Amino acid sequence: MTFETIGLFSDVRGVARLVLNRPDKHNALSARMVDELDEAVTMLAGDDSIRCVVLEARGKTFCAGGDLQWMMAQIEADRATRMREAHRLASMLHALNTLPRPLVARVHGDVYGGGIGLLAVCDQVIAARSCRFALTETRLGLIPATIGPYVIARMGEGPARRVFMSSAKFDAEEAWRLGLAGEIADSTALDETVEKAVRPYLAVATGAVARAKALARSLGARIDEAVIENSVERLADAWETEEAREGIAAFLERRPPRWAQNRG
């Protein structure tokens, strides 16, 4: 299958690479990219030759979050459309979270908004020391809704509240303290560090790995259909607010939103 917004490759060892490939748009999550990620994960889950998946990105930014043109379209849409699009994003995150293969993130550059959601559904996150992170939704009048269950599951409620609402940027060391990044590497050693993380999975039983991962999810934070549906409704609600309209419009127009005290 040919994809437009992602790449999917595998080597003879069964190590697959799932690559965000919108470098000109800072790998922002468009509707097309969300759908293609969902399709790719379905393919990977059904391929018995795959032993491990590495999630990575082309360009200088790992992922800038949701595509703002797509989000602005939801503000102008009706409720049914908003719910459908929120479900689309939630479905992709659920597919990644339940992928019956180890999912290792190779992270470089900036990671914002929905990009942090992608990291939160990975089993191991290896970040370059130069990375910068932020949950930027509230700056746009939105909330980290569909990614929220996974972010909270990864960080815990208390640590997550340090970064969940302020939109403030934090560095790789803070990402490590929050539990978002499992390991930090210098940029020159990033590939080597990822390879070290991948190598143990080549010596273990893939069926046992899938069962162990499912067990870990069952023992961890509850992210079931009801939790996911609640997050979908909250995102659709957020898209309906005047704050979201103003926040996204201000960003696209390269001006501060009306509520920002540092507008001048």
Half-sphere exposure of 39 (CA within 13 A, CB side): 14
Instruction: Give the domain ranges of the chain.
Output: 1-188+205-264
Distant-in-sequence, close-in-space partners of 17: CB < 8 Å, separation ≥ 6: 7, 8, 9, 10, 53, 54, 56
Residue 48: exposed, middle, or buried by beta-carbon count in 10 A (0-12, 13-18, 19+)? exposed
Q: How many CA atoms lie within 13 A of 183 on its CB side?
A: 20
Supply the pLDDT for residue 260: 87
Q: Cβ distance 223 to 150 under 8 Å?
A: yes
Q: Residue 239: CB partners within 8 Å, gap ≥ 6?
A: 71, 74, 75, 77, 82, 86, 142
Q: What is the pTM of this model?
A: 0.96
Reference 13, options 51, 43, 55, 63; nearest CA is 51
pLDDT of residue 261: 80
User: Maximum Cα–Cα distance for the chain, whole Å?
Assistant: 59
Q: What are 144-188's pLDDT values in tens digits?
A: 999 999 999 999 999 999 999 999 999 999 999 999 999 999 999
Closest listed residue to residue 14, CA positions, set 56, 54, 52: 52
Residues of the chain with pLDDT under 50: 263-264
pLDDT at 264: 43
Instruction: Express each pLDDT in 242-254 by its tens digit.
Output: 999 999 999 999 9
Cα–Cα distance measured from residue 233 to residue 231, given in angstroms and rounded to the nearest whole number:
5
**What is the β-pairing status of strands 52-57 and 170-171?**
unpaired
Per CATH, domain 1-188+205-264 is 3.90.226.10: yes
